[in-house]
Structures are given as C-alpha cells and as structure tokens.
Structure 1
Amino acid sequence: MKATLIYVHDPMCSWCWGFTDVYEQLLEKLPAEIVIRRLLGGLAPDSEVPMPESMQAMLQQTWRRIETMIPGKQFNFEFWSQCTPRRSTYPACRAIIAAREQGEQYDPIMTRAIQQAYYQQARNPSDHETLVKLAAEIGLDAERFASQLLDEKTHQQLLDEIDSARSIGLDSFPSLMLEQNGQRTPILANYTNMDLILNQINASL
C-alpha cells in the first residue's frame, strides 16, 4: 500500500515561502511509492480591514528572521509601502483551488506565482484583481478562474481542507505528516536541511 505525505500550507504564509526550496528538493528525493497530498491550511479568514501597524511590524520582523535563518531567501519590503496589507489569506487559498480546476498541475504553479507576487514583486494576493492577473500569467483561462474564485463551492472546498488538516492535528504551516496503513507520523520540517526530513520519512516507512 502506498504511503501518503500530507503537506499543509498557505500561499501567504511567510514560513511556507521559506520552506519552498527544501520542499522542492524533498520532492525530487522522495521514494516513488509516496503520494503527495497538498492541503490548504487557511491562515487568515476574509477581511477588508487594513492590517494594524503592530501586526505589519511583527510580520516584517518575521521576514527579516527568515532572511537571516535561511540562506538565499529574500523578501521585497516595498510591499509594505506600495500595498494596503490585510490579514486575509483565504482569497489566495481559494485561488489555489480555482487553479486546480483547470488541472492538478496548477496547484504548485499557482502557489509559487502567489508567493513570488507577494514576497518578491510587492503585489497583494489578498486582492481579487491580483489573483486573476496571476492566473492569466501562468496560462490559465482567466475568465473561468475568476468565476470559480468567487464560487461558493470553492470556498466550501477550502473549509473542508482546513477541517481535514485540523482533524489530524496540523494547524500550523508548513506541516508534514506521513500516512500509511492507517498510521500517521508527524514529520518535522527543516528549513535548511532536506536530508533531515527525508531521513524521518524513510525511517517511518
């Protein structure tokens, strides 16, 4: 029976951006019998309220910490002056689901597009217009995407994924868990050493 590696993330989670390089290295080295299941964790519900300055300062501090901790990982701090930040990641999460509707392969592609827009290009993925533009940029049918982005079924799918993640105790991001023969094993993420993650997985098979 194949094992499943569950990966819970949010495209607007700073630490998930920090984890991208190691995660991609891990995918290249995983045993062939492991299936990947990506779940959206939903960091912050919909909101039109500008982010308080205290939270903006806290997140900028987190960005600096990640830059210090993870070699080569950089953020574009112009986001904080060029955009109106909101504590609202559900739109970006729904964008991943809407992208999947045009092919499962677009899940990681849209995730990376949102991360690059947010962390490197000073664009705001909390905004509907930004997400539709990103969909077009990665080759999706933008009109179809825009419709699905606002569809209630898309929102319900997000809520279902959040519930699925929380039901197995994965409520922080990024999170990894190996599932095999009805047994679940938490896998500790490491932001700089892929081998430490792979060793945990191999030891659990």
Structure 2
Amino acid sequence: MKLVYVFDAYCGWSHGFSGTLREVVSRHPGLPVEVVSGGLFVGGRRVPIREFGYVQGANAQISELTGAEFGDGYERLIADGSFVMDSEAAARGVAALRRAAPDRAVETAVALQHAFYVDGRSLSDPATYRHVAETAGLDTDAVLGAFGSPETQGAAEADFRRAAELGVTGFPTLLAVDGSRAVPLARGHATTDEVDHRLASLGVARTS
C-alpha cells in the first residue's frame, strides 16, 4: 500500500492541508507517498486572479480552519488582480523537483506552496525553483534544466492524466492505494487523527 497525494500547487486548500500531510508522513515513515499535480488552473481557467472573486474569502476560511499562513509577499503579488495562476507551469516545477529528489516529493511540494502563498513567488518563474532547490540543498542547475525540458512537460501531463484516472475531482485528495483499489483518506480538509483513523481501518497502524 502507498499514499497518493493529488494536489495543485496553486490550490489554497492544498496549502492548508500541508501541515496534516507532513504529520501523516511523519507518523508513517515506512509508507511510500506518490505526489501528483492535479491541474486546477489550466486551459480556460488560466486567467487573472481577479476573475476568481472568492479567493480572499476562501483564504480566510482556510487560515481559520487550518492555521495556514498567507504571507505579505503573496498579498502583494495578487494585490492588483492581474496575476495568472498557471497550473501547467506549477506541475512542471513539481515534476522537476520530484525528479531531483524523488524521496522528498512531499517536502518540495510543500515548499513550493510556501514559496507562493507566503513569499509571493510566481510558480511560473524559474527563479522560484532555484530558490526552492537551493533551500532544499538540491542541484539547482538540474532542477532549472528539468523545469523547461520536454520530459518534464510530459511528466506534468502524465500527472493530470493520473489524477483523472484516480477519479479525483477536487484538491487536495489523499488516497490509500493498494493495487487497483484506491480509498479516500481526505478530501479538501482532514486532521491528522482523522487520516490516521481511516488508515487504521485499512490495517495501517501508526509507526512513529
């Protein structure tokens, strides 16, 4: 069995779930985790953030419920409403970091969300990936090279297909996957204890 975490780096609820995800991984260090980008803002949804009038209200709700931080850098970035969230670029970034450090995919996915939602760094900007790679002690040249490569473009598209094949329609979604069986552990929001309880019902006990 493994965990499959389907998220979008530009999804506020995914940002809010970061604390739960980190704690679940900490409690179950032997459980592999596959991180998949879902593709929230692609195609016709790749528009200036002002067109999503619910964003500020949703962020306040996310912060209240999860304690997630939405930093001053983020508020400055979106202040005039012109910023465009491009989930295809973000998925390429997730794939580039995942390629550089496959066993740290959760860590780097969470770091990307911090870069956007706290620091106010665009996930379309290669400099963001340089920063995240340097902070994580990864090979920055390898990450930046991968970010713009056709292989990483293919990996992003494969992630979107994988999310669809798993039947995921909202982010974040955390699944327990065993062969062809996928059991939802969290959709949108859940506490660590709630996820643990669902894992226990599948015979997966906490080990840390």
Q: Normalising by the residue count of structure 1, what TM-score does the alignment of the two structures yield?
A: 0.84
CA contact (8 A) 1:46 1:90 kept: no
Q: Once the 2 structures are TM-superposed, how far is the Cα of residue 181 of structure 1 from its aligned partner?
A: 4.8
User: What code does the residue aligned with 1:30 have?
Assistant: H
Listed as ranges, the gaps of 5+ residues in structure 2 are 204-208
What pairs up with 1:37-48 in 2 under 5 angstroms? 37-45=34-42
Matching residue of 2:173: 175
**Which amino acid counterpart does residue 169 of structure 2 have in structure 1?**
D
- Aligned match of 1:79: 74
Structure 1 pair 62–97 and aligned structure 2 pair: CA distance change class (3 A) = same
- Percent identity over the alignment is 20
CA shift, 1:155, in A, is 0.8
Displacement of 1:150 in angstroms is: 0.7
4+ long deviations beyond 6 Å? none
Match of 2:206 in 1: none
| More displaced 10-residue stretch of structure 1: 13-22 or 115-124 | 115-124
User: In the alignment, what sits opposite 2:101?
Assistant: 103
Shift, 1:157, TM fit: 0.9
Q: Aligned to 2:64, which of 52, 68, 83?
A: 68
Partner of residue 140 from structure 1, selected from 135, 138, 141: 138
Of the candidates 12, 15, 21, which is equivalent to residue 14 of structure 1?
12
For residues 55-99 of structure 1, the C-alpha deviation after alignment (integer angstroms, 9 at most, x for no partner) is 2x42122111111222x3221254243455212122222112112
1:115 CA drift (Å): 1.5
Q: Is the 8 A contact 2:170 2:188 kept in 1?
A: no
Q: CA deviation at 1:36?
A: 1.9
Q: CA offsets, 1:104-144, max 9 Å, x none?
A: 13423322322222111122223233223332333222222
Could you tell me whether the CA contact under 8 Å between 1:185 and 1:204 is conserved in 2?
Answer: no
Q: Across the two proteins, how many residue pairs are aligned to each other?
A: 199
Q: RMSD between aligned alpha carbons?
A: 2.5
- Following superposition, the deviation at residue 21 of structure 1 comes to 1.0
Equivalence for 1:149: 147
Letter in 1 for 2:33: I
1:45 shift after superposition? 2.7
Aligned twin of 1:90: 88
Task: Give the one of 105, 119, 122 matched to 1:121.
Answer: 119
Structure 2 residue aligned with 1:185: 183
Question: Offset at 1:31?
Answer: 7.8
